Amino acid sequence: MTPTVAVTAGRLTGLHEIVDVGRDSRRGGYSRHVFQPAELELRAWFAERAGRLGLHVETDRNGNMWAWWGEPGPDAVVLGSHLDSVPGGGEFDGPLGVVSALDAIALLRADGFAPSRPCAVVVFAEEEGSRFGVACLGSRLMTGAIAPDRAGALVDADGIAFADAAAAHGIPPRHLGRDDAALGRIGLFLELHVEQGRGLIDLDAPLAVASSILAHGRWRIDVAGEGNHAGATRMADRRDPMVAAARGIIAVRAAAAVRGDDRATVGRISAVPGGTNVIPSVVTAWLDARSAGDDDTRELVADIAARVTAEAADEGCTATVTEESWSGAVQFDPVLREALASRLGGIPALPTGAGHDAGVLAAHVPTAMLFVRNPSGVSHSPEEHATLDDTVAGVVALEQVLRGLL
């Protein structure tokens, strides 16, 4: 009998097994942040599920988890994604790629398939950067794209350093950093991911291969003014950084809007000290900016910085803009992409505005991505969705690809 994809209660069984882990009671969806209880529960689940499949599980120097089918590397075919989420994120962003990879291996194993080269499923740590601020932290560390000292010094909202959080979970800070042994085992990396926009809805297709990723990054905007009393300070006497930041945020949107299809977002803001009857001293807003090419994104951010500075000055405040992370534009290997697309019956290619560990890996090893249709067209939100049929199609696609590669 041909093995079939494991399904429970209308979901891939793996997704069903973690459906209650890290639910976010405020927004809905999931909050699963690196080295916090929900994410640790997912790590334990991954180790257990991979173990059930007969895979050998290990955690690397940077906190990424690997489940090996056969002897580890070299020239391994590596599938995988991440298990952490944005605050109140969807069910599929990350876990779909991990579950689908395990399910594809399960199908091959049940069919008695014997691989002729090593194969692994990887779970990259802190892909969203939701706790420590830098996205794809695990893959950046592994590839040397971020210095270990800088990564270790990143702090979360409670002032806990990444180095300390990692140490508390068995990752010695002195071991953080470029991991040539782990990287050197990867012959090819393939990340399956829920699509995060409307591309596949518009194409009326369940699956696509990725063609490119926008250049993107994160910047901190600190607006400083004069902290003062909400009742005793006349309106004309104020240098209010909250007002300056609000004007700056409107300017962020305006800067992106005049540049075609650029994207600029302020999704997080904080006021010091943050009191209802206190004019703040400093307001910090975090900018996420994206455009097609590296220069386009740099130009967008320069324009935003100029506008924000001018708006702040008009309120008697100052603004400083500091880069926190940068990811250059990615063009996925066209030969590999074409080969995958044709192996899967000529599926379409789609660009994406979302960042991925695959984007980090693409600078080092042959890398490709598969997207699964998202009928809501919405992501980084509880509304993110994928139908059972499409997720099963994703698993079957990975299985077919593995049969060709292994």
Shorter beta-carbon distance to ligand GLV: residue 272 or 378: 378
Query: Which structure tokens are listed for 119?
Result: 């194969």
Restricting to residues 334-373, name those near ligand GLV by CB under 6 A. 354-355
Shorter beta-carbon distance to ligand GLV: residue 97 or 227: 97
Least distance (Å) from ligand GLV to the CB of residue 219? 14
CA proximity to 92, closest of 388, 336, 393: 388
Shorter beta-carbon distance to ligand GLV: residue 95 or 227: 95
Among 57, 99, 106, 135, binds ligand GLV (CB under 6 A): 135
Q: Give CA 281 to chain center in angstroms.
A: 32
Total residues interacting with ligand GLV, rule: CB under 6 A: 4
Measured between alpha carbons, how far is 350 from 208 in angstroms, rounded to an integer?
Answer: 6
Q: What phi and psi, each to the nearest 5 degrees, are found at residue 218?
A: -130, 140
In one-letter notation, the amino acid at residue 232 is A
Measured between alpha carbons, how far is 229 from 281 in angstroms, rounded to an integer?
Answer: 11
Least distance (Å) from ligand GLV to the CB of residue 142? 17
The stretch near Mn ion (CB under 5 A) out of 91-99, 104-112, 253-261, 338-346 is 91-99
CA proximity to 229, closest of 275, 195, 266: 275
- Residue 135 binds what, of ligand GLV, Mn ion, none (CB under 5 to 8 Å, by partner type)? ligand GLV
Least distance (Å) from Mn ion to the CB of residue 282? 29
Least distance (Å) from ligand GLV to the CB of residue 330? 12
Burial call 304-335: b when 16+ CB within 10 Å, e when fewer = bbebbbebbeebebbbebeebbbbbbbebeee
Least distance (Å) from ligand GLV to the CB of residue 290? 8
Measured between alpha carbons, how far is 200 from 197 in angstroms, rounded to an integer?
Answer: 8
Least distance (Å) from ligand GLV to the CB of residue 218? 8
CB proximity list for 101: less than 8 A, separation 6 or greater:
79, 80, 81, 121, 192, 398
- Residue 84 binds what, of Mn ion, ligand GLV, none (CB under 5 to 8 Å, by partner type)? none
Restricting to residues 222-281, name those near Mn ion by CB under 5 A. none
Torsion of CA 158, 268, 298, 177, to 10 degrees: 30
Q: What phi and psi, each to the nearest 5 degrees, are found at residue 404?
A: -75, -35
Measured between alpha carbons, how far is 130 from 233 in angstroms, rounded to an integer?
Answer: 37
Enumerate the β-bridge partners of residue 159. Answer: none
Among 84, 91, 93, 195, binds Mn ion (CB under 5 A): 93
Among 84, 103, 126, 128, binds ligand GLV (CB under 6 A): 128
The stretch near Mn ion (CB under 5 A) out of 94-102, 137-145, 309-317, 387-395 is 94-102
The stretch near Mn ion (CB under 5 A) out of 89-97, 219-227, 274-282, 361-369 is 89-97
Least distance (Å) from Mn ion to the CB of residue 342? 26
Least distance (Å) from Mn ion to the CB of residue 177? 23
Task: Judge whether 202 and 91 are in contact, CB under 8 Å.
Answer: no
Enumerate the β-bridge partners of residue 89. Answer: 30
Least distance (Å) from Mn ion to the CB of residue 38? 16
Contact code string over 45-84 relative to Mn ion, x by CB under 5 A: ----------------------------------------
Is residue 94 close enough to count as binding Mn ion by CB under 5 A? yes
- Residue 355 binds what, of ligand GLV, Mn ion, none (CB under 5 to 8 Å, by partner type)? ligand GLV
Measured between alpha carbons, how far is 197 from 194 in angstroms, rounded to an integer?
Answer: 9
CA proximity to 375, closest of 223, 248, 228, 200: 200
Shorter beta-carbon distance to ligand GLV: residue 225 or 355: 355
- Residue 94 binds what, of Mn ion, ligand GLV, none (CB under 5 to 8 Å, by partner type)? Mn ion
Cα-Cα-Cα-Cα dihedral sign, residues 82, 43, 88, 325? negative
In one-letter notation, the amino acid at residue 274 is G
Shorter beta-carbon distance to ligand GLV: residue 128 or 262: 128
Shorter beta-carbon distance to ligand GLV: residue 27 or 117: 27
Least distance (Å) from ligand GLV to the CB of residue 251? 22
Site residues for Mn ion per CB under 5 A: 93-94
The residues of the shown chain that bind ligand GLV, judged by CB under 6 A, are: 128, 135, 354-355
